[in-house]
Amino acid sequence: MPYKSEKIKIQFTKHDRRIKLDDVDRQQIIRKYNQGRSMRSLGREYGVDKKTIKFVIDPEYYKETLAYTRSKKNHLNISKEKRNEYMKKHRRYKQELYIKGEIK
C-alpha cells in the first residue's frame, strides 16, 4: 500500500535535500566574496564544495555547466536497480517528515 505522503511535493522547499544553500546564504556568499573572501574559505564556512560557491557567484558558469552536462546525458546513466533504491529512500524520507508533522 502506498504511503500517504507519496503525493506531497517537497521539491524546492526546505525539506528538499538537493538544495545545499538557501537564498539568504547565497546573498551572504556574494557579499563576502565581493569583500575579498576566497571561494575555498567560503566553501569551508558553508560546508559545500568551492564549485558550488562558484555557481552562486557566477550564474553564467552554472548555466554553461548545466547545458554541457545535459548535452552529454551523464546524469541519465543510472541502472534501474539504483534508481529504485534512490526512490525507496526518498519515499521513506517523505514518510518520516509526514509522521513528524513537518509536511501535510
- pTM, whole model, 2 decimals? 0.69
Q: Examine residue 14 and state whether it is found in any structural domain, yes or no.
A: no
Residue 76 has a pLDDT of: 64
Total domains, the chain: 2
Residue 29 has a pLDDT of: 96
Give the gyration radius of the chain's Cα atoms. Answer: 17
Do 39 and 68 have their domain in common? yes
Residue 32 has a pLDDT of: 96
Do 104 and 87 have their domain in common? yes
Do 67 and 24 have their domain in common? yes
Residue among 2, 3, 11, 15 nearest 103 (CA)? 15
Q: Which residue has the cell 508533522?
A: 101
Do 68 and 100 have their domain in common? no
- Distance, in Å, from the CA atom of 81 to the CA atom of 92, rounded to the nearest integer, reads 17
Do 63 and 94 have their domain in common? no
pLDDT in tens, 16-33: 888 889 899 999 999 999
Residue 39 has a pLDDT of: 95
| DSSP E strand stretches across 1-104 | none
Contact criterion met (CB below 8 Å) for 94 and 10: yes
Residue-number span of the structural domain to which 36 is assigned: 20-72
Note every long-range contact of 16-19, with CB atoms under 8 Å and residues 24 or more positions apart, other chains counting: 17/93
Residue 18 has a pLDDT of: 81
What number of CA atoms fall less than 13 Å from residue 16's CA on the CB side?
11
Do 27 and 54 have their domain in common? yes
Do 24 and 62 have their domain in common? yes
Cα 72 to chain centroid, rounded: 20
Q: Examine residue 15 and state whether it is found in any structural domain, yes or no.
A: no
Residues of the chain with pLDDT under 70: 1, 73-76
Q: What is the DSSP letter of 102?
A: S
Q: Examine residue 10 and state whether it is found in any structural domain, yes or no.
A: no
Do 60 and 87 have their domain in common? no
